[in-house]
Amino acid sequence: MATGFFNWISQSAAVTLYNLRTIPERRGAALAAAVGIAGVVVVLVGVLSIAEGFHRAMTVAGSPAVALVLRSGSDSEMTSGLTHDQTRLIADAPGVARNDGGALASAELFVIINLPKRSTGTDANVPLRGVSPTAFDVRGNVTLLAGRRFAPGRNEVVVGAGAARQFAGLEVGRTIRVGQNDWAVVGIFAADGGVAESEIWTDAAVLQPAYHRQDTYQAVYVRLTAPDAFPAFSAALTTNPQLSVKVVRQSDYYAEQSTTLTAFIRTIGVAVAGLMALGALFGALNTMYSAVAARTREIATLRALGFGAGPVVCSVLLESLALALIGGAAGAALAYGAFDGFQTSTINWQTFSQVAFAFKVSLPLLVQAIGWAAAIGLAGGIFPALHAARIPIAAALRET
């Protein structure tokens, strides 16, 4: 049995190597098939890298050690509202981290302003967030790239790096007009590529009168002493009769916000790539049927010399797979070079504001795309392979 198996392997390898050496003779059809499969990979990776990038921008912002407190029943900051007294009760709850300045809790406002995009000049919704001075320590991943932090009590803003790239007039030293007030841009900050980089921050105490919010806020961000302090912190707030609030981890909040758009983009990407894959499949079928037709006498000769049908089937499948993997690898390399790190922005449907992010071509995404290419190659080779194995030996040998 072992001898028969090794003989089968030997025959399959011999026929496969012969088939691969003859590909240059059929380079036109082979190139067409490979290019079609490469196109599928480029489209699949390109669209799904949008979803990967958006999901990363949203989820990298979330820390399990940071909690977000909203009004009960709210699904986003836009629909929430908290009084000043409520924010003080939240800051005094057990499990809140502290430093020399007091509790690491930031009572915040979230409003939408219009700014022109650099690429098109058209206005887009940009988040303007009023924060407490502790917001930088609460988030923990915010670093200044240029300038300085805003001064409390002044009409000054610091701008996320993503917003600065995507929207005009946000360089340090510039002034932006928001409502009836002018705001000086005094700094640019980074936040590990997270959603905060799409925002503009200012002092909440200055933003409140500018938007007639009196002494109210929309959310409180809190840094906990440790991630496992969340249950006790949440229980203390939700059981307090003076409060009617919803408590979530920051990581869970942003992950949930990314779900809808990410799922939509992935669905569109798979649907478009699926349609292209169908066309590439027919291209692969045509290529392999042509290859089998061109080698009818060679295949029959091998069969007459004692080569089995199995090695013939295997060789045709491996040839088709090789062409598919070549096309898939080329498409993956092209997609990586074209899309990875590409900066853009899109709307977050939960807040109706722009989120700046970078396309993310991850290794799992490339592996998935190569898997699509391999599947197309195998599907495109199976029927020509079976046809090759079933060619009548005597009739094929008589062909001229």
Environment class of 121 (CB within 10 Å of its CB; exposed 0-12, middle 13-18, buried 19+): exposed
**pLDDT exceeds cutoff 90 at 396:** no
Least confident stretch, 155-159, 271-275, 322-326, 393-397: 393-397
* pLDDT of residue 274 exceeding 70: yes
* CA gap 117, 378 in Å, rounded: 46
Q: Indicate the pLDDT class of residue 1, thresholds 50, 70 and 90.
A: very low
- Between 131 and 22, the more confident residue is 131
Assess whether pLDDT exceeds 50 at residue 331: yes
Least confident of 61-65, 178-182, 208-212: 61-65
SS3 326: helix
Q: How confident is the model at residue 318 (pLDDT cuts 50, 70, 90)?
A: confident
Inform me whether the pLDDT recorded for 305 exceeds 60. Answer: no
377 neighbors 320 (Cβ within 8 angstroms): yes
Cβ atoms of residues 120 and 217 within 8 Å: no
> How does residue 64 score in pLDDT terms, banded at 50, 70 and 90?
confident
- Confidence class for position 178, pLDDT limits 50, 70, 90: confident
CA nearest neighbour of 372 among 31, 42, 137, 15: 42
CB atoms within 10 A of CB 153: 9
Q: Are strands 66-71 and 219-223 parallel, antiparallel or unpaired?
A: antiparallel
Q: Bridge partners of 84?
A: none
Both tokens of residue 347?
Answer: 């709307």
Of residues 213 and 316, the one with the higher pLDDT is 213
The 10 Å Cβ neighbour count of residue 353 is 22
The pTM of this model reads 0.77
Question: What residues pair up with 363 in beta bridges, in sequence order?
Answer: none
pLDDT tens, residue by residue, 207-227 = 998 888 888 999 999 999 999
What integer is the mean pLDDT of 230-237?
94
Most confident of 47-56, 131-140, 389-398: 131-140
Q: What is the share, in percent, of the chain residues with pLDDT greater than 90?
A: 39
pLDDT in tens, 5-55: 566 566 566 666 656 666 666 667 677 778 888 888 888 898 889 888 888
Domain locations along the chain:
2-59+257-398, 73-243
pLDDT at site 400 = 47
User: Angle at CA 85, nearest 5°, toward 156 and 254?
Assistant: 60
What is the average pLDDT score of the chain?
83
pLDDT given at position 56:
83
Q: Would you state the pLDDT for residue 388?
A: 67
Average pLDDT value for residue range 249-261? 82
CA-wise closest residue to 174 among 158, 190, 189, 162 = 158
Between strands 181-190 and 156-160, the pairing is parallel
- Give per-residue burial for 338-348: e unless 16+ CB within 10 Å, then b: ebbeeebbbeb
What confidence tier does 93 reach under pLDDT thresholds 50, 70, 90?
very high
pLDDT of amino acid 206: 92
* DSSP symbols for 15-66: HHHHHHHTGGGGHHHHHHHHHHHHHHHHHHHHHHHHHHHHHHHHHTT--TTE
- What letters, b where the CB count within 10 A reaches 16 and e where it falls short, cover 357-374? bbbbbbeebbeebbebbb
Q: What is the DSSP-derived secondary structure letter of residue 24? A: G
* Collapsed DSSP state (helix, strand, coil) of residue 12: helix
- Which of 2-16, 82-96, 324-338 shows the lowest mean pLDDT across its residues? 2-16
225 to 97, 143, 222: CA distances (angstroms): 5, 21, 10
Q: Is residue 157 predicted with pLDDT exceeding 90?
A: yes
The predicted pLDDT at position 241 comes to 92
Q: Quick one: angle between helices 250-294 and 27-59, nearest 10?
A: 180
Q: Which two tokens stand for residue 305?
A: 């010399």
Contact (CB, 8 A) for 129 and 273? no
> Quick one: DSSP state of residue 175?
E
For residues 183 and 219, the answer to whether their CB atoms sit within 8 Å is no
How open is the CA angle 41-47-48, to the nearest 5 degrees?
85
Q: Cβ distance 128 to 226 under 8 Å?
A: no
Alpha helices (runs of H) in 295-362, residue ranges in sequence order: 296-304, 309-339
**DSSP class of 65:** T
Residues 326, 287: contact at Cβ < 8 Å? Answer: no
Q: At 74, is the secondary structure helix, strand, or coil?
A: coil
* DSSP, res 391: S
Residue of 393 and 358 predicted with greater confidence: 358
Per-residue confidence band for 381, with pLDDT thresholds at 50, 70 and 90: confident
The per-residue pLDDT for 223 is 95
Cα distance between residue 272 and residue 298, in whole Å = 39
Q: Which two tokens stand for residue 189?
A: 């900050």
From the list 286, 291, 293, the residue with the least C-alpha distance to 399 is 293
